Amino acid sequence: MRAMSPIAFQGERGAFSEEAARKLLGDSIDVLPCRTFEDVFAAVAEARAEAAVIPIENTLAGSVLRNFELLATAKLTIAGEVLLRIAHALIAPRGTTLADVRRVYSHPVALAQCQRFFAAHRGTIEAIAADDTAGSVRMVVEQARGDEAAIAAAGSAAIYGADILAEGLEDHHRNYTRFLLLRPEASASRIESHGPRKTSLMFVAPNKPGSLFRALAAFALRDIDLTKIESRPIEGRPWEYAFYVDLAGDAAEPNVARAIDHLREMCEVVRFFGSYPAAFSESGTKDV
């Protein structure tokens, strides 16, 4: 059997993205930590990684916008998704107490999920954005300044030899991040499933009145449920936007295929990202 190449993710060992990768693909996988999202996409494009797992949206902080933009130009296919419950812990070098902490580091998306914690410590604790959650733990442990901590998964404390000062920092316990599994277009194979499936695509409609209404009507007229729509500005074209859509169904289904064909007739660009098994939600039902 051919050995599997590493799975790329943004962050350092112990990051939530690594946990998502293992939930999707199993604990035995090799992983390739990357500093930035750009590095993650490059690792797959350059065949240094077989696939990538990236966060795409969070139930508290919203969409991870940079990854939508990177998807638009990458020659990658979405092969799967997973919903990960995100529980944040305050982690510091051993011997540090909560009363000692004056600065807390973490990824900006993680900080945005813990606003109530910072509001409760306004004037005493400063939130500082960093590249990664787990990497922030490593950094504060290495610096050992005595007044710094990080927000990350509780498991990061054991990896980097730190103490957990507080848990459950997220603003709401139903805090989930949706992660995507990305594979190269040429090697991506269809993952069969017996449950509902999801399709993701991007389109650019003509910049004229009614074009977005007509584009969305391609799905509405066929009773296709849109589970998400996101707009991003088009570089070099002020006040024009690309629209990213997730829909319930598979592109192989005649109804969905006809809707996408109809969309192509109306739009200057339609980029198909893939059809894949829909993830299970907290209630045990599919996320559709």
Q: What CA–CA distances, in Å, run from 171 to 36, 60, 105, 186?
A: 26, 8, 17, 41
What is the dihedral sign for C-alpha 89, 95, 100, 102? negative
From the list 268, 261, 157, 270, the residue with the least C-alpha distance to 219 is 261
- Write down the catalytic residue from 9, 179, 203, 219: 179
Query: At 201, phi and psi to the nearest 5?
Result: -155, 170
- Write down the catalytic residue from 16, 177, 203, 219: 177
> How far is the C-alpha of 270 from the C-alpha of 202, rounded, in Å?
6
- Please indicate whether residue 177 is annotated as part of the active site: yes
From the list 181, 156, 43, 33, the residue with the least C-alpha distance to 106 is 156
What is the separation, in whole angstroms, between the first and last Cα of the chain?
Answer: 35
- Please indicate whether residue 179 is annotated as part of the active site: yes
Strands 7-10 and 31-34: parallel
> How far is the C-alpha of 287 from the C-alpha of 81, rounded, in Å?
10
Query: Could you give the count of Cα atoms lying within 13 Å of 19 in the half-sphere of its Cβ?
Result: 18
Residues tagged active-site: 177, 179
